[in-house]
Amino acid sequence: MNGSDLGVAKSLQYQTGPNLQHRDTYPAYSARTSAVGSDGDDDRTEDGFAGSLTKQLAETAVGVREMSKQLGRARVQLHIQNVLIVTKARDNRLIKLTRELALYLMLKQRRDQRGLVVYVDNQLRHSKRFDAEGIQRDHPGLFDEGQLRYWTSRMCSRSPHLFDFVVTLGGDGTVLFTSWLFQRIVPPVLPFALGSLGFLTNFDFSDHQAVMDSALDNGIRVNLRMRFTCTVYRAVANEKGKTRKAVKKGETGEIIMKNIEKGGWEALEGGWTGGPVETFEVLNDLVVDRGPSPYVSLLELFGDEHHMTTVQADGLTVSTPTGSTAYSLSAGGSLVHPEIPALLITPICPHTLSFRPMLLPDSMELRICVPYNSRSTAWASFDGRGRVELQQGDHIKVTASKYPFPTVCADKQSTDWFHAISRTLKWNERERQKSF
């Protein structure tokens, strides 16, 4: 089974072994559930029906939690032939390490199989430090078999199925860049710690041969990190090209728009007067701020079409659990374990004493709107990239992505996470109090 073709989530569904007992079905509930006696009469009482339904709901919830635990413990054996290496940009010391890793993978002897096909950045094609000509001179067979190839960002976005496995050499920024390259399906990513902070990088490059051998021969444990799908909607003018203005907010909190002059406009999606223009897959966070404007940001926040609040602040971050240790943490947000499926909303310097960070379920659809009566525009960035300006009337829709970002675990998911926050953030470190 090819992990990149089916996706890690799908491959886990069919994986069996001592660490994962696959169950075909979990308890389901039905409004028609009843208890029938031996004589064929319906012995169900109203209390009995409610109790039975409650029991089945509880069993279903327990089954889902148990499946989640098993997924975290499962070791997935993938058929890996094509490996992509993503190297931190503008760090010349890593080019030689890239060459060393690529050679090891291409020359690795495997039972009844040739060495791996390795893709490196196209920028290294003519690099003197990488020295592709030297590799060809010393190992001409690798080029005869086409084992050394070069990737481009277009190749990653258009043909992710070409790659079975990804290895990153760098820090957290390199991992985020990899997420940016793969805006849809992502192969499993094994990150080596060669950057500054390294919260997401759990592997030491000095052990790269043993790490790669274990991944290729013994399988991997995968952490399916949640991502967001962020869609930018632009305000749409009416047929006459007239602009619109905001009407005073109604009791329901909905922002109602009308034309300055007579003439209708069409509600394009669920009553929202805007059309989608750009979509981004986000691993860390979406940040909406005031940009260069001297005015406080004015934003309207909706959850499942319900007006939640008006944001008057320097900005707002919407973070994944992975991104809870980034900008959100600096703005006062909580640390969130990566297995918790949630959206973390954290205001940036709110001009109020009561706007605290919130955790919302991943099933919720968020919309962040710039109202027409805002004094200024807003600016949005997606994992620190793709910064766009939001004009009055524009908004962003945020939903949980159906394309998670699979990273390889060095140990168990929770062990990796607690080790990372202790190692990088020095979490809760202080001198121990002396005993009496």
Token look-up 């202080």 returns 430
Catalytic center residues: 172
| Rounded-to-integer distance, Cα 360 and Cα 345, Å | 8
Structure tokens at 300: 């309207």
Cα 323 off chain centre by:
9
Query: Cβ contacts of residue 201 below 8 Å, gap of 6+?
Result: 168, 170, 171, 172, 175, 191, 192, 193, 194, 195
Q: Exposed/middle/buried for 42, CB within 10 Å: 0-12, 13-18, 19+?
A: exposed
* Closest C-alpha among 89, 72, 92, 97 to residue 15: 72
The residue assigned the tokens 């148990």 is: 66
* CB-neighbour burial class of residue 102 (10 A; exposed 0-12, middle 13-18, buried 19+): buried
- Nearest Cα to Cα of residue 282 among 215, 212, 344, 353: 344
210 neighbors 336 (Cβ within 8 angstroms): no
DSSP-assigned states of every residue in 111-152: TTB-PPEEEEEGGGTT-TTT-HHHHHHH-HHHHHTT-EEEE-
Contact by Cβ (8 Å): 290, 315:
yes
Q: What letter represents residue 228's amino acid? A: F
- Looking at the DSSP bridge assignments, the partners of residue 85 are 167
| CA neighbor of 82 nearest in space, from 115, 122, 110, 111 | 115
Residue written as token pair 């900005």: 315
Q: Which residues contact 40 (CB under 8 A, 6 or more apart)?
A: none
The C-alpha atoms of residue 149 and residue 349 are separated, in whole angstroms, by 48
- Length reported for the chain: 436
Task: In whole angstroms, give the CA distance from residue 13 to residue 10.
Answer: 5
Helices (H), 383-426: 413-425
Residues linked to residue 368 through DSSP beta bridges, in sequence order: 301, 396
